[in-house]
Amino acid sequence: MANVVVVGAQWGDEGKGKIVDWLSERADVIARFQGGHNAGHTLVIDGNVFKLSLLPSGILRKGKLAVIGNGVVLDPWALIDEIKRIGDMGVEINTENLMIAENTPLILPVHWQLDKLREEAAGKAKIGTTGRGIGPAYEDKVGRRTVRVADLADEATLDSRLDRLLAHHDALRRGLGEPEIDRAALKAALVEIAPQVLKYAAPVWKVLAERRKKGERILFEGAQGALLDVDYGTYPYVTSSNTLAGMAATGTGMGPGAVGFVLGIVKAYTTRVGEGPFACELFDEVGQHLATVGREKGTVTGRSRRCGWFDAVLVRQTCTTSGMKGIALTKMDVLDGLKELKICVAYELDGKTLDYLPTAADEQARVKPVYETMEGWTESTVGARRWADLPAAAIKYVRRIEELIECPVALLSTSPEREDTILVTDPFAD
């Protein structure tokens, strides 16, 4: 049986939470491998709405092990708050079903403070971060001055890490006209929260290797989307980590041989949050329909999402860079009632036709979509669980998407509810 990696194939918000939750019934371990609490997954189970940011979606399944890997940047206070909030909703979270990699870097108050200060100072050049310290935390990780989970267990190590960290941040804050960090208060806060975090700490790479040897199925859960990848996204309007499937290996310590079936989550139209190029963005009544019917508000930030037609050029590109073997197509029901649908099949730039998104930022901003028009449908697709339940025009739309992105549909989601899913190919059976 294959392990499965789930990644977003657009700019995030594709519905990964529901699909991961649905797949987690077939998995034994669900491992989150990148990002931070800037990502949000909304799951609807038996009418109850669960909003997760750090906890892997599999935490909602009894008898499963949820893992936060070293590729994640972890805000310990946000984690404990989320554990309490989800616990108050009746989900038991303990050391039997949650594990955190010992080498996971922490997000500290200095990180989100710096994040906001720099965005404010950037003015029109801001890139639209969530202000949660994700970027600065990853900077400190590669700068070798971060505090990691394991450091919380030893005061001497913690002191050394703080010395190096604050030597950098205090200089930045002085340059921005801000007071230096209160070192004593920061250390006291870390010492206070340490026991609540350390009880979940473990050598995740070793545990996952042992589970794999036993034949257990591992589901790797990504955050954000492939178009926000720091290398292959619409730079600089990206997140600060690698969001592609390859990160599943390094973000958990499993190695590339453990990555099996790569499943891309794809919305039946396109959305993005924040700044950056968006060739297919709509500003008309159709765009308003997608935003309203699709309830396009960010799970974490509450920011409105920009909406547009399906961009096959972008999805074909992300299918390639993540090595996707299949996609899960979500939010088909949002297109119900539209008489006409359009799909971007190419770009025009300076009189030339392109079948990919160029790397240069100025060219990304100037590409124009080339559309193909298809017939819409008036029937409802909400809650469909078989192909036979779908209108003929909806099936044609799905098949055309498969052709254009050169990747088959493995799953089709027709509502936020867990069971409203059509299974075409079981990723775990690969």
- State the catalytic residues: 13, 41
Contact status, residue 104 vs residue 148, Cβ threshold 8 Å: yes
Per-residue burial over 13-37, b if 16 or more Cβ lie within 10 Å, else e, is: bbbbbbbbbbbbeebbbbbbbbbbb
Structure token pair of residue 335: 């297109």
- What phi and psi values does residue 79 have, to the nearest 5 degrees? -60, -50
DSSP state of 153: G
Beta strand extents in 55-156 (DSSP E only): 65-68, 98-101
Structure token pair of residue 221: 């859960």
H or E segment and range at residue 313: helix 312-321
Dist. CA 308–CA 196, nearest whole Å: 43
Tell me the chain's radius of gyration from C-alpha atoms: 22
Dist. CA 292–CA 426, nearest whole Å: 32
**Percent of the chain as helix, strand, coil, to the nearest 5:** 40, 20, 40
- Residue type (1 letter), 53: S
H or E segment and range at residue 51: strand 48-52
Dist. CA 367–CA 237, nearest whole Å: 16
Helices (H) and strands (E) in the chain, counts: 12, 18
Structure token pair of residue 127: 């890139």
